């Protein structure tokens, strides 16, 4: 069964995607933006899997949801490393 | 798969990310962005922890928090993107601002440089001693400096001339030049050609000289300006003309010297010769440059041992050598004067070669005259001494001949008488030779004396089958001479000629000519007799020198002739070719 709060989270996530699309020209200048965008994309994927979890294949989508969150945080960690460590080294 | 493990990994990863952010807190990104990013990390950690607690079954009450945090997650991501976007915008605008500031700074620096360049250019043009004129392609003045106004006596300031018509100004300025039409036409022609010209020399009416350059100022292929540069080169041109004049004068002087002059280097190579030198060898002066001087003068492969240049090089002082040069057929006096440059180094020498053949001959004649004078004095004394006994011998022999003696004795007495008379004649000649008789010089017609001599010898010549030919110039100027002595001279020479003809072939022709030569009266007596051998030529005027058999000639004839002619300020010379004949040439100064 689809829960309202999960649907709201998904809508909020999609709204943020629209925001990103609208400001993509500025955001492209952010270091390793693709990694950050991918991280967010995977989170949105997790939101989708959460919603889909209520419709069917509950176990599969649940696993996919958790994998998505994990992947998202790992990519965020990579982005942080690229921004705070690698870029500094290059600058030096 | 245990879902809780995934959540644990997610939580640890979130913590790592948060730790990294804290460790590198001051590196990259702004403070606000870092805070928002840290918030995202915390939200993520909270969210994954809630999931972990939910799925591990530790505390199911956290589901409500999970929903709240889950709601917060996209919003926080939105904050992160918003913050990053703002950062990129501020970064871009910062970069733009920096670029703008840099551009402004560079522009200011460029303007400063242009200002400096302009000041430098102004300083150069104002202090440039030459006149500068820049005109547009439409022939209006764009720029002119003060020197230009001064040079052409323009009564305006340079600024007042800007915008004026250049064509009209050129026509007015042209009046200052010697050829105004050429000046204006020259400008038009140069502009039409459109090519850079340099060092065009113009002469002004006031005696100044101006040098003109033209430079077309181009921007790629577009003509922007005509630039004219005028320089007052009066001093330089006058100096050049003075140098040229001095060089010409020196060259003319060098070439007008009749002595042969050559300037040679240390290797005996000719650097310069004068015309007399070149003419002697039948060449132009240029043809002899770089030739070896000894090859030219002596025709040899090495310098003479007594070469004056070698001596001068050794002593460092001028050296002179006098010698007969067979290659040139003359006697020469060669003087070498070393040439030294500033550092006292010898670079060569000046060779002066003088033809001294005539001087040598004159010296020989002087020696001969001196010798004749000495002999004359000696002979004069002897003649005086002999005159008395000879008179006695002749007188007593005449008396004895009047007496009766046997024929053979009378014949011997007659012989004594004749020989005594011959001796007396010799003594008389000797006295004449020794100038014992004072001269009586009057205006004498040489032709008349020659006719007398020819009349005197006409009979004897006929007997000897000798044809006497006279080619006497009419209206010959008189000479101041002792007529008797001149008659003696001509008679002696004619007698010599007769004897020479008779000895050669028993008959012939004797020709006497008179004429004028260089203000003098010239007499030539030519015979086609046996001639005089070459080896005797330098002794024929010596007293007592004769080629005839003993007793047939005294050897005093030509000596007396020489003495008489010399006393009359004249010259006597003999040219002869053995077997062909002899010509005696006498020159006497005329009274005219």
**A15 and B67: CB-CB below 8 Å?**
no
Residue B57 has pLDDT above 80, yes or no: no
Question: Tens digits of per-residue pLDDT, B101-118?
Answer: 999 999 999 999 999 999
Q: Which residue of B has its CA nearest to A83?
A: B28
**A84 and B24: CB-CB below 8 Å?**
yes
**B71 and A62: CB-CB below 8 Å?**
no
- Report yes or no: B486 and B444 within 8 Å, Cβ to Cβ: yes
Nearest to B81 among A16, A66, A76 (CB): A16
Name chain A contacts of B16, Cβ cutoff 8 Å: 77
Of B313, B73, B361, B175, residue with least CA distance to A12: B73
> CA of B463: how far to CAs of A85, B59, B474, B512, B517, in Å?
154, 190, 29, 19, 34
- What does the alpha-carbon distance between residue B272 and residue B275 come to, in Å, rounded to a whole number? 10
Strand partners for B571: B587
**A67 and B6: CB-CB below 8 Å?**
yes
- Does B119 map to a domain? no
- What does the alpha-carbon distance between residue B336 and residue A16 come to, in Å, rounded to a whole number? 115
B451 and B417 in a common domain = no
B591 and B444 in a common domain = yes
The ipTM value here is: 0.91
- Report yes or no: A66 and A74 within 8 Å, Cβ to Cβ: no
**B20 and A81: CB-CB below 8 Å?**
yes
Count of CB pairs separated by less than 8 Å, A with B: 118
Whether chain A has a CB inside 8 Å of the CB on B71: the answer is yes
Out of B384, B414, B437, a domain closes at: B437
**B27 and A69: CB-CB below 8 Å?**
no
Of B168, B206, B208, residue with least CA distance to B187: B168
B377 and B322 in a common domain = no
The predicted pLDDT at position B553 comes to 60
B560 and B471 in a common domain = yes
Whether chain A has a CB inside 8 Å of the CB on B419: the answer is no
- What does the alpha-carbon distance between residue B520 and residue B517 come to, in Å, rounded to a whole number? 5
Out of B338, B355, B372, a domain closes at: B355
B25 and B87 in a common domain = yes
**B81 and A19: CB-CB below 8 Å?**
yes
Q: What is the mean pLDDT of the segment spanning B159-186?
A: 84
* CATH value at residue B380: 1.10.287.130
Q: What is the mean pLDDT of the segment spanning B379-385?
A: 80
Band the pLDDT of B430: cuts 50, 70, 90: low
- Does B109 map to a domain? no
Band the pLDDT of B342: cuts 50, 70, 90: confident
- Does B114 map to a domain? no
Q: What is the mean pLDDT of the segment spanning A73-80?
A: 92
Residue B459 has pLDDT above 90, yes or no: no
Residue B59 has pLDDT above 70, yes or no: no
The predicted pLDDT at position B432 comes to 62
The predicted pLDDT at position A88 comes to 65
Question: Tens digits of per-residue pLDDT, B29-52?
Answer: 788 888 898 999 998 888 888 888
* CATH value at residue B168: 3.30.450.20
- Does B299 map to a domain? yes
Of B227, B198, B229, residue with least CA distance to B134: B227
Nearest to B88 among A29, A47, A62 (CB): A29
**A29 and B92: CB-CB below 8 Å?**
yes
- Report yes or no: B499 and B464 within 8 Å, Cβ to Cβ: no
B448 and B395 in a common domain = no
Q: Is A73 exposed, middle or buried (0-12, 13-18, 19+ CB in 10 A)?
A: buried
Residue B435 has pLDDT above 60, yes or no: no
**A30 and B88: CB-CB below 8 Å?**
yes
Whether chain B has a CB inside 8 Å of the CB on A27: the answer is yes
Name chain A contacts of B87, Cβ cutoff 8 Å: 30
**A73 and B13: CB-CB below 8 Å?**
yes
Out of B396, B414, B437, a domain closes at: B437
What is the 8-class DSSP label of residue B165? B
Scanning A28-87 for CB atoms below 8 A from B yields 29-31, 36, 40, 43-44, 47, 50, 62-63, 66-67, 69-70, 72-74, 76-77, 80-81, 83-85, 87
B456 and B408 in a common domain = no
In this structure, the number of other CB atoms found within 10 A of the CB of residue B545 comes to 14
B539 and B483 in a common domain = yes
Report field, pTM of the whole predicted structure over 0.90: no
Band the pLDDT of B550: cuts 50, 70, 90: low
B191 and B167 in a common domain = yes
- What domain range includes position B328? 257-355
- Does B569 map to a domain? yes
- Does B146 map to a domain? yes
Whether chain A has a CB inside 8 Å of the CB on B33: the answer is no
B465 and B381 in a common domain = no
The predicted pLDDT at position B49 comes to 85
The domain tally of chain B equals 5
- Mutation target to probe the B interface, by most B beta carbons within 10 A, among A66, A72, A81 is A66
**Residues B19, B20, B23, B24, Cα dihedral to 10°:** -150
Q: In the block, which residue shows the tokens 């007594």?
A: B306
* CATH value at residue B464: 3.30.565.10
- What does the alpha-carbon distance between residue B59 and residue B131 come to, in Å, rounded to a whole number? 103
Q: Extract the runs of DSSP E, i.e. beta strands, from B279-357.
A: 319-325, 330-340, 346-355
Residue B90 has pLDDT above 90, yes or no: no
- Report yes or no: B226 and B170 within 8 Å, Cβ to Cβ: no
B363 and B349 in a common domain = no
Of A40, A29, A56, A61, residue with least CA distance to B73: A40
Question: Hey, CA dihedral for B494, B498, B499, B504, is it positive or negative?
Answer: positive
The predicted pLDDT at position B484 comes to 80
Strands B131-135 and B222-232: antiparallel
- Does B116 map to a domain? no
- Does B532 map to a domain? yes
Choose the weakest-confidence range: B154-168, B351-365, B464-478.
B351-365
Residue B270, both tokens? 């000719």
- What does the alpha-carbon distance between residue B292 and residue B265 come to, in Å, rounded to a whole number? 10
B143 and B208 in a common domain = yes
């Amino acid at each position: 069964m689809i829960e309202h709060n999960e649907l709201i989270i998904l809508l909020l996530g999609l709204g943020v995607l629209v925001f990103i699309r609208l400001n993509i020209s500025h955001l492209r200048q952010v270091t390793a933006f693709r990694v950050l965008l991918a991280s967010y994309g995977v989170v949105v994927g997790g939101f989708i899997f959460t919603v889909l979890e209520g419709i069917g294949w509950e176990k599969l989508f649940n696993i996919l949801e958790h994998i998505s969150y994990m992947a998202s945080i790992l990519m965020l960690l990579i982005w942080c490393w690229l921004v705070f460590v690698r870029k500094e080294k290059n600058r030096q | 798969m245990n879902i809780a493990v995934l959540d644990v990994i997610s939580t640890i990863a979130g913590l790592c990310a948060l730790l990294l952010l804290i460790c590198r807190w001051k590196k990259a990104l702004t403070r606000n962005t870092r805070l928002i990013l840290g918030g995202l990390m915390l939200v993520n950690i909270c969210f994954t922890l809630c999931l972990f607690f939910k799925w591990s079954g530790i505390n199911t009450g956290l589901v409500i928090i999970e929903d709240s945090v889950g709601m917060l997650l996209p919003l926080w991501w939105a904050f992160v993107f918003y913050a990053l976007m703002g950062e990129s915008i501020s970064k871009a605008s910062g970069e733009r601002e920096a670029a703008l500031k840099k551009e402004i700074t560079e522009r200011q620096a460029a303007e400063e440089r242009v200002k400096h360049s302009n000041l430098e250019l102004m300083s150069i043009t104002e202090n440039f001693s030459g006149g500068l004129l820049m005109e547009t392609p439409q022939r209006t003045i764009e720029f002119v400096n003060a020197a230009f106004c001064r040079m052409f006596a323009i009564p305006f300031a340079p600024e007042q001339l800007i915008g004026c018509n250049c064509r009209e100004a050129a026509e007015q300025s042209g009046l200052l030049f010697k050829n105004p039409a050429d000046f204006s036409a020259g400008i038009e022609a140069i502009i039409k050609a459109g090519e850079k010209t340099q060092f065009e020399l113009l002469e002004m009416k006031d005696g100044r000289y101006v040098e003109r350059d033209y430079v077309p100022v181009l921007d790629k292929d577009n003509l922007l300006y005509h630039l004219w540069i005028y320089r007052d080169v009066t001093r330089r041109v006058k100096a050049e003309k003075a140098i040229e004049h001095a060089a010409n004068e020196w060259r003319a002087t060098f070439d007008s010297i009749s002595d042969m002059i050559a300037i040679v280097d240390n290797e005996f190579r000719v650097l310069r010769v004068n015309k007399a030198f070149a003419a002697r060898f039948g060449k132009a002066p240029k043809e002899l440059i770089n030739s070896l001087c000894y090859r030219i003068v002596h025709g040899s492969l090495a310098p003479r041992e007594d070469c004056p240049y070698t001596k001068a090089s050794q002593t460092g002082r001028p050296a002179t050598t006098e010698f007969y040069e067979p290659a040139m057929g003359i006697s020469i006096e060669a003087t070498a004067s070393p040439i030294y440059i500033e550092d006292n180094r010898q670079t060569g020498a000046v060779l002066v070669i003088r033809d001294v053949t005539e001087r040598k001959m004159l010296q020989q004649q002087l020696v001969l005259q001196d010798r004749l004078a000495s002999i004359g004095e000696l002979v004069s004394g002897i003649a005086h001494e002999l005159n008395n006994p000879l008179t006695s011998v002749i007188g007593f022999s005449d008396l004895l001949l009047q007496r009766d003696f046997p024929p053979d004795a009378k014949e011997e007495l007659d012989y004594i008488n004749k020989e005594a008379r011959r001796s007396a004649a010799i003594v008389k000649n000797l006295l004449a030779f020794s100038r014992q008789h004072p001269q009586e010089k009057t205006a004498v017609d040489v032709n008349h004396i020659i006719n007398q001599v020819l009349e005197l010898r006409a009979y004897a010549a006929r007997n000897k089958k000798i044809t006497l030919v006279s080619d006497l110039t009419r209206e010959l100027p008189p000479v101041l001479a002792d007529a008797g002595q001149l008659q003696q001279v001509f008679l002696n020479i004619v007698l010599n000629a007769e004897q020479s003809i008779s000895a050669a072939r028993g008959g012939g022709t004797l020709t006497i000519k008179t004429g004028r030569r260089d203000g003098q009266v010239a007499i030539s007596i030519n015979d086609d007799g046996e001639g005089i051998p070459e080896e005797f030529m330098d002794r024929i005027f010596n007293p007592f020198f004769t080629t005839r058999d003993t007793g047939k000639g005294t050897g005093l004839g030509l000596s007396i002739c020489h003495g008489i002619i010399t006393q009359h300020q004249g010259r006597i010379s003999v040219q002869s070719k053995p077997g062909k004949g002899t010509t005696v040439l006498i020159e006497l100064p005329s009274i005219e």
